[in-house]
Amino acid sequence: MAHYVKCKNCKVNFDALENNTGNIVCPSCGTLQDLMINVSDDIVIREMLKKKVKMAGLGRAISEQMAGDDFSHERQKWCHKERIIDRGNNRYMEIVIDTETGELIHYCEEPLNQHFGHGSDKIGGQT
C-alpha cells in the first residue's frame, strides 16, 4: 500500500515508500518531512425496530411488529427481517431477505392459530 506525503514546504504530494534513507525527504525541494499517521476505518450501523400494542387488562400484546437487521446463524450473515404477529386478526407474517443478494430466504404468511412449533414455541402451543 502506498503512503503519500504532502510536503510541508512546497506542497508537492509524493510516495513516502520511494525514500529508503529512513527519513522522509521531499523529492522536489529536499525538505525533511514530519511523520504524520492517518488512520481510517469503516463502521456499519444495523438497526431493528420493534413495536408492541398492549391493552389494559390483557397479559400479552395484541400486536407485535419488528423490522430491520437480524443475524442469521444458519447463514452466518446479516439479513433483513420483518415479522408481524397480529393476535386480534389471527395473522402471522414473516419475511427474511439476504441484504447482499436480494434473495428471498424465508416467507411465511398464515393464520396465527396454525403457526406453532417454531422458535421458542417447542411444545406446539399458540404464539
Q: How do the pLDDT tens digits run along the chain, 127 residues long?
A: 566 778 888 988 887 754 555 678 888 888 887 766 667 899 999 999 999 999 888 888 999 999 999 999 989 999 999 999 999 999 999 999 999 999 999 999 999 999 887 665 655 444 4
What is the distance between the alpha carbons of residues 117 and 111, in angstroms, rounded to a whole number?
Answer: 14
Q: What is the pTM of this model?
A: 0.62
Tell me how far CA of residue 84 lies from CA of 6, 37, 63, 67, 112, in angstroms. 56, 49, 8, 9, 10
What's the sign of the alpha-carbon dihedral 11, 15, 19, 23? positive
Q: CB of 7 within 8 A of CB of 31?
A: yes
Give strand pairing partners of 105: none
